[in-house]
Amino acid sequence: MKKFLETIKNIKNSSRPVPPEGDVSDVYGGPIWPYLLVYKLWYLGLLMVIIWLWPEMNRDAFFGNMARWPRVGEIVFGSYLTTWDGAHYMSIAEQGYIPGSPSCAFWPLWPFMMRIGSWLTGGSCLISGMILSNLFSFFGLLWSHRLVEIHFGRRLANRTLLLLLFFPGALFFQFLYTESLFLFLMAGFWLSLENRNWFLVYLLGLLLPVTRSVGLFLLIPLVWYFWVCLKNEKELGPGMKSLLLTVPLQGFLIYLFCMSMATGNALEAFQVQYHWGTNNANNLFDLPKFILAFPEIYNWHDYSGSLLDRLVFAYSLPPLFILWRYKRDWFWLAVVLCIFPAMIATYISYVRYLAVAFPVFLGWALMFDSLRSRYSLLTIYLVLIGLHAVLLWRHINFLWAG
């Protein structure tokens, strides 16, 4: 443990490209985007080959799910790209919200973006969604890498990015899920804070709570950042600070307005949560339920009672201690992105939800930096890649992945 802490201290105090306060414009140290672009193209090409050569669609799940695409008829090629939540987002994008439908539990910005994008894809929300999901995740990953590089150097930024790409939950960055858009907005939001670009901070802060419910709780790390990191910021007056500090609340009000306009009921999403069993916002106020649910394991990975979700949650906790010691603004960000989704969903889909928590992957990168053997790190990479491949195959075939 002493060796481990000394290693992290050396990393923290080592020479690295730390810019002047508020200026992160020239820290990149060389382009990482070509490698990320090759990864994206390779991944999508491999995905298409798998669907073409190895289709094993779970027909019972496809026809029995609360939403499927196409909504009528048999399985088509696009059905493999729109399993589970993807079908709900396709339904909202194509026909809007239907009051009382389980799809009303899904937040509006992502299907709205799919619908807008379809104007450029011949009316296909599927094509626009696939393009946008990969574009958003491309820039979200790029900006997450840049944020880590600013504070911890290129080597740890590269390792953080690799751990994030190999992580099983990262498979959803390629599909019609909110992870891509949320990572894009969150990384852009935090990078804008570093750059003191208040217009983008406000704009992206408004959009985050319209993308996912956890966007509202970004109020916590935002308050910490203003209290500690911006306490001597003279550029902002009290009025502007108040406007920026409350931007997650303002975004949530925009969400309520959107749902009111779309369904006639601002609280429609909360009133249809009974369709989803244990996934409920009220779980945030029921800590005993959260704790007692941890040992309730019924399978290695399924909708509920997943061993994998609980193992990933357990392994997401040690990075929090490291972040508390060395990057406290990211500690609070990691708490919101790690703990709150686990509580709201009672561990359901945790592998997916964690994929956007780039500070946790930084914490893992710092932990693994103390490993003396390269073979140990290679073993970790191979385990993550193996799990990623298994869950990818399960996901496209309507078997539970997250």
Per-residue pLDDT of the chain (402 residues; tens, 9 = 90+): 454 445 444 444 433 333 333 334 334 457 899 999 999 999 999 999 999 888 899 999 999 988 999 999 999 999 999 999 999 999 999 999 999 999 999 999 999 999 999 999 999 999 999 999 999 999 999 999 999 999 999 999 999 999 999 999 999 999 999 999 999 999 999 999 999 999 999 999 999 999 999 999 999 999 999 998 887 777 788 888 899 999 999 999 999 999 999 999 999 998 887 767 666 778 888 899 999 999 999 999 999 999 999 999 999 999 999 999 989 999 999 999 999 999 999 999 999 999 999 999 999 999 988 776 778 889 999 999 999 999 999 999 999 999
In a domain, 17, yes or no: no
Neighbouring-strand partners of residue 299? 306
Neighbouring-strand partners of residue 306? 299
Work out how many domains the chain is built from and give that number. 1
Position of tokens 């217009």? 199
In a domain, 4, yes or no: no
In a domain, 8, yes or no: no
Residues 213, 352, 48: CA angle, nearest 5 degrees: 120
Per-residue pLDDT at 6: 52
Three-class secondary structure of residue 306 per DSSP:
strand
Phi and psi torsions of 135, nearest 5°: -65, -45
In a domain, 376, yes or no: yes
In a domain, 37, yes or no: yes
Per-residue pLDDT at 54: 86
Per-residue pLDDT at 317: 96
Residue 76 CB neighbour total at 10 angstroms: 12
Q: Which range marks the domain in which residue 87 is found? A: 32-396
Q: Which stretches does DSSP call E strand in 30-169? A: none
Per-residue pLDDT at 28: 44
In a domain, 369, yes or no: yes
In a domain, 15, yes or no: no
In a domain, 246, yes or no: yes
Its pTM stands at 0.91
